Amino acid sequence: PPVDHIFRITSLSDISISEDIPVEGDISVPVGSQNTDDDFSTLDEPVKDTILRDLRAVGQKFVHVLYPKKSSALLKDWDLWGPLLLCVTLALMMQGGSADSGEDGRPQFAEVFVIIWFGSVIITLNSKLLGGTISFFQSLCVLGYCILPLTVAMIVCRIVLLGALSSIGFVVRLIVVTASFCWSTFASTAFLADSQPANRKALVVYPVFLFYFVIGWMILTFSPSP
């Protein structure tokens, strides 16, 4: 048996591949990728270009909220930069209110953040449980961007509060906040309408209505501290 094994090994060493037999395959190891496609990549993109591109994307989403229609513009390339910017702006504008404590308005600032983000999470979970087809972060993106009209209303209300005519000022604030509330509700439902079952849309719209109503009520009842 040992001699038989040696004979077999010797026989295998004498086998040579004929030049007429094509050898398929590539055993070379590429050193680097030679792909010259023009695929977009942000790895080598300058930081300035990245920031400008993100700002343009946020601005385009703001335009879609100002002119709401049934579209998936906010759902394709979702982000949370716009909602974060609006939330911070709204919270900063509410600082210094008479409802604040003596700690530089921090409770009011935290209150705005809790209401916006926690409320958005609850509405998103409700939408998913009712059979919604959009993702968790897409819903947060839509709800956050649609706060834009209410944020504008808060800025207008702060300007109106600088005047001395309290009765006229309240009427102006009421009209502005009501219009912004309706705008935000309509815009959010326009973007979320196609993602919900037809027989459950009312169950999805109702929490959205309450969400923006609470924010609008906070803006309307805001009064600067003396």
Three-state DSSP state, 39: coil
Residue 107, burial from CB neighbour count under 10 angstroms (0-12, 13-18, 19+)? middle
pLDDT at 149: 93
Q: pLDDT 10s digit of each residue in the chain, 226 long?
A: 554 544 454 444 454 544 555 545 444 444 444 444 445 556 677 778 788 887 888 888 888 788 776 556 556 777 888 888 998 888 888 876 554 444 444 447 788 888 888 888 898 888 888 877 778 888 888 888 899 999 999 999 988 888 756 778 888 999 999 999 999 998 888 877 777 777 777 788 888 899 999 999 989 888 776 5
CA 194 to chain centre: 18
pLDDT at 115: 85
Q: What is the pTM of this model?
A: 0.70
Distance (Å, rounded) from C-alpha 201 to C-alpha 205? 6
Distance (Å, rounded) from C-alpha 183 to C-alpha 50? 31
pLDDT at 151: 93
> Smallest Cα–Cα separation from 140: which of 150, 149, 128, 130?
128
pLDDT at 177: 95
| CB-CB contact of 113 with 56 (8 Å) | no
Tokens 């109702």, residue? 206
